[in-house]
Amino acid sequence: MNELVEHKSWMQRNRIWFIPIMVLTAIIAFMFFSSGLGGKVKDVGKAYADTSLYDNAMLKVKNNSEAINVLGEIKPTDNFAIAEGYVKYSEDNKEVRTTIRIKGTKQKGKLDIYAERKEGTWNYKELKIRIKSIDKTILILENKN
């Protein structure tokens, strides 16, 4: 009656589930990084960290009378606006093209930003607001190049 009961290890008991899940995880990770989505996630992460890019652009929009007339009072930008939009940094991180959602009390639209970093500050080359509902584009700052 005093027989020793030998228990299987965790891996022996769960290998039916563990091995396929690890293979599937490896396949998904390979597809993610080979598709270029890894770079896009990195760009969005940089955009979250660099709030001055968006804050200064919003100040320029709030000081534009045409934007105020069309959009109304502009509401603050939240972090989801960056995630919903488009972000593309240059390879040396000195230029960025990004689009974020912008909301006012009258209308909502998309704010397109093209900026260049010089000596730690963003110099805006182009700022424009696209409003789909009334098919209007408001140029805040136009690229002369």
- For residue 13, the one-letter residue type is R
CA pair distance 94, 117, nearest whole angstrom: 5
Arithmetic mean of pLDDT over the chain: 84
Q: Of 70, 85, 76, whose CA–CA distance to 55 is shortest?
A: 76
pTM score of the predicted model: 0.69
Pick from 121, 102, 118: which is nearest to 110 by CA?
102
* CATH (residue range 43-141): 3.10.450.320
What values do phi and psi take at 56, rounded to 5? -70, -35
Q: For residue 139, give both structure tokens.
A: 């140029």
* Residue boundaries of the structural domains of the chain: 43-141
Residue-wise pLDDT tens digits, 7-60: 888 888 888 888 899 999 999 888 877 766 656 666 666 666 677 888 888 899
Over pLDDT 70: what percentage of the chain?
A: 87
